[in-house]
C-alpha cells in the first residue's frame, strides 16, 4: 500500500517536468523566430531606404538578403520592383514568379501577376546551341564562369541584358570561348558551339625524316649519290677554283708588265759595264719591273694554292666522304717562294 502511494506521488512531478520543458522549448523557438523576423525586417527596411536614395544595386542586395533570412511574398515583389528599375528584367520577372508561389494575400497575388505578365513581352533571350555533330565526350560548358548544364542547352532562356562569356571544355580538346552581347530588352541572341579541336591535331610536332645513315658499303652508294654530286664542299671548291683562275691570270698580266719594264730598262742602257746617261730612268724601270715581278709571283702563288685547294676540296668533298674528312688550304708567300700548305684529316 505504501509503494502505491509513493508511485502516485511521483507521477505529478514527472508531468510537471514535461510541461516545463515544453514551455522552455516554445520560448526558445519563439525567440529564434522573432530574431529571424527582426533581421529580415531590418534588411527589408534598409532596402527600401537605399532604393529611395537611388542606390539600386545595394537595395536589391538588401531585399535578396532579407528574403534569404525569411522568404516572404512581399519581399520578393519588392525585389522584383528593384530589379526592374535596375534594368534587370529577367531577374525581376523571376522574382515576381517566385512571389506567386508564396503569396496568400489576394492583392499581392494580383500585383505580382500583373507585373510578371507586363515583363514577359520585354524579356531578352539567349540560346546556346550544341548540335549532335559538335558534342564530344566529356564536354562541359560554362556561362560567365558558372556551370551551364546540358539540360539548358538548345533552349531560349530569359536573361538580363549584358555580356555573357560562353566557354567549352573537353578532355583532349582545345578550349573554346566566345562572348554574347544581349540587349536589355527584346533581344533574341543565339550562340552556336563548334566542335572542339583535338589537341593531338593542333600540337603534334611535324614528322621529321629519319637521319641519313653513314655510308658503309657499296649497297648504300646509290642512296648517297641520289643526294647529288655537288655537296657543300664541292660547291666551295668551285668558288676556290674561280679564285685560282683569277690569281693565275693576274700573275700572267703582272709578269708581262714586269717583262716589259725590264726590256725598257735594257733599251736605255744595254751594257751594264758602260756608263749610261739615262741610268736613273733605266733604274726606275728596273725597280718597277722587280715590283711587278714580285706581285706576279704572289698572284701565281695564290692561284696555285687555290688550284690545289680546289682539287683537294673536290676530291674529298664526294658525298661519301664529306663528313669524314676535314681539309684546310693555307697560301704561303715568302720572299723568293710561293706555295700552299694543306692541313687536314683524312
What gap in Å lies between CA 74 and CA 96, rounded to an integer?
A: 10
Per-residue pLDDT band at 278 (split at 50, 70, 90): low
pLDDT of residue 246: 80
pLDDT of residue 256: 78
Say which residue, 180 or 291, is predicted with more confidence: 180
Residues 302 and 313 sit within 8 Å (Cβ to Cβ): no
Match 531577374 to its residue by C-alpha cell: 91
pLDDT of residue 301: 74
Instruction: Compute the average pLDDT of residues 306-314.
Output: 70
pLDDT of residue 80: 94
pLDDT of residue 201: 62
Beta bridge partners of 249: none
Instruction: Compute the average pLDDT of residues 20-47.
Output: 63
Per mean pLDDT, which of 48-57, 206-215, 252-261, 269-278 is the most reliable? 48-57
Instruction: Compute the average pLDDT of residues 62-88.
Output: 92
pLDDT over 80 (residue 232): no
Tell me whether strands 156-159 and 124-129 are parallel, antiparallel or unpaired: antiparallel
Express as a percent the part of the chain with pLDDT over 70. Answer: 61
What gap in Å lies between CA 256 and CA 145, rounded to an integer?
A: 90
Residues 79 and 62 sit within 8 Å (Cβ to Cβ): no
Q: Where are the alpha helices (DSSP H) in the chain?
A: 2-52, 56-69, 73-85, 89-100, 106-120, 199-203, 221-225, 232-268, 279-316
Per-residue pLDDT band at 322 (split at 50, 70, 90): very low
Say which residue, 52 or 33, is predicted with more confidence: 52
Instruction: Compute the average pLDDT of residues 281-292.
Output: 71
Instruction: Compute the average pLDDT of residues 96-110.
Output: 93
Instruction: Compute the average pLDDT of residues 198-203.
Output: 71
CATH number of the 25-120 domain: 1.25.40.10
Per mean pLDDT, which of 47-56, 198-207, 328-337 is the most reliable? 47-56
Distances (CA, A) of 51 to 41, 64, 88: 15, 13, 15
Instruction: Compute the average pLDDT of residues 242-271.
Output: 71
Q: Is 124 exposed, middle or buried (0-12, 13-18, 19+ CB in 10 A)?
A: buried
Say which residue, 192 or 233, is predicted with more confidence: 192
CATH number of 124-202: 2.40.128.690, 3.40.50.1220, 2.60.40.1120, 3.40.50.2300? 2.60.40.1120
pLDDT over 60 (residue 14): no
Task: For 231-267, give one letter per residue: b (16+ CB within 10 A) or e.
Answer: bebbeebeebbebbeebbebbeebbebbeebbebbee
Neighbours of 316 (CB within 10 A): 20
pLDDT of residue 58: 94
Tell me whether strands 140-143 and 162-169 are parallel, antiparallel or unpaired: antiparallel
In 3D space, the residue among 59, 100, 42, 57 whose CA is nearest the CA of residue 76 turns out to be 100
pLDDT over 90 (residue 86): yes
Read off φ and ψ for residue 21, nearest 5 degrees: -65, -40
pLDDT of residue 17: 41
| Range from 128-142, 155-169, 239-253 carrying the lowest mean pLDDT | 239-253
pLDDT over 80 (residue 285): no
pLDDT of residue 38: 83
Q: What is the pLDDT of residues 122-134, one digit of tens each?
A: 999 999 999 999 9
In 3D space, the residue among 308, 310, 303, 306 whose CA is nearest the CA of residue 255 turns out to be 303
Distances (CA, A) of 139 to 121, 150, 202: 34, 10, 18
Model confidence, pTM: 0.49
pLDDT of residue 93: 96
Domain boundaries, the chain: 25-120, 124-202, 222-345
pLDDT of residue 223: 45
What gap in Å lies between CA 129 and CA 156, rounded to an integer?
A: 9
Say which residue, 136 or 221, is predicted with more confidence: 136
Q: What is the pLDDT of residues 288-304, one digit of tens each?
A: 767 777 776 776 677 77
What gap in Å lies between CA 149 and CA 233, rounded to an integer?
A: 67
Q: Write 71-77 long-range contacts (CB < 8 A, 24+).
A: 71/102, 72/40, 72/102, 73/99, 73/100, 73/102, 73/103, 73/104, 73/105, 73/108, 73/112, 74/99, 74/108, 75/40, 75/44, 76/102, 76/112, 77/108, 77/111, 77/112, 77/115
Residues 213 and 221 sit within 8 Å (Cβ to Cβ): no
Amino acid at each position: 500500500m505504501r509503494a502505491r502511494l509513493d508511485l502516485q506521488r511521483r507521477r505529478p512531478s514527472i508531468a510537471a517536468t514535461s510541461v516545463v520543458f515544453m514551455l522552455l522549448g516554445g520560448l526558445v523557438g519563439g525567440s529564434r523566430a522573432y530574431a529571424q523576423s527582426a533581421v529580415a525586417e531590418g534588411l527589408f527596411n534598409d532596402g527600401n531606404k537605399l532604393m529611395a536614395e537611388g542606390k539600386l544595386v545595394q537595395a536589391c542586395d538588401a531585399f535578396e538578403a532579407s528574403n534569404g533570412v525569411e522568404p516572404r511574398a512581399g519581399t520578393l515583389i519588392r525585389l522584383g520592383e528593384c530589379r526592374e528599375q535596375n534594368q534587370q528584367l529577367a531577374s525581376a520577372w523571376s522574382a515576381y514568379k517566385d512571389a506567386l508561389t508564396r503569396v496568400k494575400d489576394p492583392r499581392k497575388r494580383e500585383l505580382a501577376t500583373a507585373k510578371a505578365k507586363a515583363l514577359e513581352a520585354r524579356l531578352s533571350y539567349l540560346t546556346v546551341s550544341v548540335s549532335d555533330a559538335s558534342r564530344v565526350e566529356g564536354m562541359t560548358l560554362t556561362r560567365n564562369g558558372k556551370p551551364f548544364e546540358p539540360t539548358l542547352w538548345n533552349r531560349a532562356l530569359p536573361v538580363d541584358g549584358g555580356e555573357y562569356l560562353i566557354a567549352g571544355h573537353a578532355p583532349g580538346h582545345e578550349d573554346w570561348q566566345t562572348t554574347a552581347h544581349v540587349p536589355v530588352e527584346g533581344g533574341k541572341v543565339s550562340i552556336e558551339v563548334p566542335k572542339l579541336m583535338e589537341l593531338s591535331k593542333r600540337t603534334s610536332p611535324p614528322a621529321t625524316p629519319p637521319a641519313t645513315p653513314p655510308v658503309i658499303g657499296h649497297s648504300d652508294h646509290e642512296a648517297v649519290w641520289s643526294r647529288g654530286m655537288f655537296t657543300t664542299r664541292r660547291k666551295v671548291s668551285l668558288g676556290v677554283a674561280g679564285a685560282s683562275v683569277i690569281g693565275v691570270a693576274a700573275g700572267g698580266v703582272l709578269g708581262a708588265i714586269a717583262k716589259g719594264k725590264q726590256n725598257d730598262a735594257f733599251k736605255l742602257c744595254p751594257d751594264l759595264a758602260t756608263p749610261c746617261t739615262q741610268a736613273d730612268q733605266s733604274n726606275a724601270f728596273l725597280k718597277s719591273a722587280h715590283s711587278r715581278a714580285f706581285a706576279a709571283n704572289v698572284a701565281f702563288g695564290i692561284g696555285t694554292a687555290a688550284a690545289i685547294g680546289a682539287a683537294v676540296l673536290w676530291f674529298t668533298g664526294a658525298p661519301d666522304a664529306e663528313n669524314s674528312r676535314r681539309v684546310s688550304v693555307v697560301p704561303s708567300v715568302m720572299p723568293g717562294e710561293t706555295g700552299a700548305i694543306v692541313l687536314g684529316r683524312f
